[in-house]
Chain A
Amino acid sequence: MTPSIALSGVAKRFGRRHVLDGVDLAVQPGTSLVIIGGSGTGKSVLLKSILGLIPIDAGSIRVDGQEVAGLRGAALAAHRTRIGMLFQGGALFDSLSVWRNISFALGGSAANRRAVAIDNLARVGLGAEVADLKPSELSGGMLKRVALARAIAARPPILFFDEPTTGLDPINAAKINNLIRTLVKDLKITALTITHDMTSVRVIADKVAMLHAGRIIWQGPLAALDGCDNAYVRQFVTGSAEGPISGLVAS
């Protein structure tokens, strides 16, 4: 089966710092893969490279079999229609109401787009009364839900989640994790999530990969994570200060 996302030897350098140094990874259709790794290890760069927001220096990125590296103009825009993205801070447009944010990329009349937006709000557990609010009037949890509604509004076959629970209290984080799991299952979406929240990993993931020093150093099914004998993975999963992962990395 052709993987939804296939990365081979992906490299990206900022100045003298190799952020990605030969990343190989494959995500099968309908699978939820979570990439774990410390702050500043290039997880966000990896997502943005697949989206074509950051050009890579070397390697290959294939989405549904199509090479993404080097795409430009209309071809790149067409590639992006296959992917929805939940940004870390939500990235809702401050000047637009909730329903206009959700329906931003949709066509049709305003009434139709508003109806679709309200339908998607319901999917993420919010009522129609939220539709006319501005993002600044939402709480952190609501903001993440609205951003999630925007990400799924065009029903993309692939969804990216960038640190989906960052900044949320444990209850709202749990709700977002469950919501992501439900949406991925219900909409039969291929999901790629980056996080360092192990609670998220256990709820969202079918498979887990760990990014460290610019490479995928371990990958396997969620069930294999706790029994993994990789010292880096073990340290990360247990959150221990002692182990091979030492310093802080500049973002």
Chain B
Amino acid sequence: MIGVLAAIGAPVLAGLAAIGRLARFAAAAVAALLRPPWYPGQLAQQMLIIGWLSLPVVGLTAIFTGSALAQQIFIGGSRFNAAATVPAVTVIGVVRELGPVLGGLMVAGRVASAMAAELGTMRVTEQIDALVTLRTDPFRWLVAPRLLAAVLVMPALVLVSNALGVMGGWLLATQRLGFNSAQYLATTARYLQIDDVVSSLVKAAVFGFFIALMGCYHGYHSGGGAAGVGRATTNAVVSSFILILLSNLIITVIVFGS
């Protein structure tokens, strides 16, 4: 009986301890954001890396997904004479869900892994220790700029992703499905509500926070040489994917559940 309890209790306790460590790390990172010194150069560099350099992958994902969504809605809608709903459903689907979620997942794959690898390498090559000996708080120099940059640029990236996703749907609908361009855009504008855009941007900021947090957390606590850095990178991507999907569900239920 005790053996069974121990078998259940040990992983539960380990899981709680991991959540506690992550919460402490997040609190320290947010606290580092609020206290000087700040490093605007580091922030600008991270905004460039996370935002500008992610644009191609996020943009392409949005265009292809928006187009595929329009095609699927057209095929599905045709089964019950609702093919005309393509512009309305595409814009709602893209702005509420696909734009932020797929954009978040693509950025997580690109950025969380890079952050974990960079910080992990800095950890195993003692660069983080060197920072400390040079009187620089690694949370302020490394973690806080990445966290703030991700929270700031993700909404902008998702705005672009939404626009390109809708454009992908419009392109396919007008070029292949026979929709009138002006009518398509007018219907899109009529069904797009401010709540959709706001929820999309809120999701983007939350996803940005989790992407940077997971990348930094796993990289910062990396150990065990190259294999350890590899594990940190994998863990950063997987955990940020899970947190993006979980937080997306929670925000969707809160904003649109009623």
Contact = CB atoms under 8 A, between A and B. Distances in A.
B129 A80 contact: no
Contacts of A93: 122, 127, 130-131
Contacts of B132: 51, 53, 80
Contacts of B127: 91-94
Interface string A82-103: 0111011101111000000000
A92 B129 CA distance: 11
Nearest to B121: A94
Contact of B126 (A81, A83, A89, A150): A89
A92 B121 CA distance: 12
B135 A87 contact: no
A48 B130 contact: no
A111 to B, nearest CB: 16
B183 interface: no
Contact of B133 (A85, A88, A89, A92): A85
B135 A91 contact: no
A93 B127 CA distance: 6
A105 B126 contact: no
Of B127, B130, B136, most buried by chain A (CB within 10 Å of CB) is B130
B134 A87 contact: no
A50 to B, nearest CB: 11
Chain A at the B interface: mostly helix, strand, loop or mixed? loop
A91 B136 contact: no
B175 interface: no
A88 B136 CA distance: 20
B180 interface: no
B126 A88 contact: yes
A77 interface: yes
Interface string A25-59: 00000000000000000000000100101000000
B195 to A, nearest CB: 41
Interface in B168-188: none
B136 A105 contact: yes
Interface residues of B, number: 13
Nearest to B45: A95
A232 interface: no
A236 interface: no
Contacts of A91: 125-127, 129-130
B126 A104 contact: no
| Range, interface on chain A | 10 to 19
Contact of A81 (B122, B125, B130, B135): B135
A77 B129 contact: no
Contact of B134 (A48, A94, A104): A104
Contact of B129 (A53, A105, A150): A53
Contacts of B131: 93
B133 A104 contact: no
B135 A105 contact: yes
Contacts of A94: 121-122, 127
Interface in A56-85: 77, 80-81, 83-85
Nearest to A156: B133
Contacts of B133: 51, 53, 80, 83-85
Interface string B133-160: 1111000000000000000000000000
Contacts of B122: 93-94
Interface string B14-45: 00000000000000000000000000000000
Nearest to A79: B135
A9 B36 CA distance: 38
Of A81, A83, A84, A104, most buried by chain B (CB within 10 Å of CB) is A104
Contacts of B135: 77, 80-81, 105
A85 B136 contact: no
Nearest to B125: A89
Of A83, A84, A91, A104, most buried by chain B (CB within 10 Å of CB) is A91
A84 B131 CA distance: 12
A11 B138 CA distance: 27
Contacts of A92: 127, 130
Nearest to B131: A93
A27 to B, nearest CB: 18
Of B127, B129, B133, most buried by chain A (CB within 10 Å of CB) is B133
Contacts of B130: 85, 87, 91-93
Contacts of A80: 132-133, 135
Nearest to B135: A77
User: What are the 8 closest A-B residue pairs judged by CB atoms, nearest first?
Assistant: A91-B130, A105-B134, A91-B126, A87-B126, A85-B133, A91-B127, A77-B135, A104-B134
Given A77-B135, A81-B135, 6 more contacts: A53-B133, A80-B135, A87-B126, A93-B131, A94-B121, A105-B134
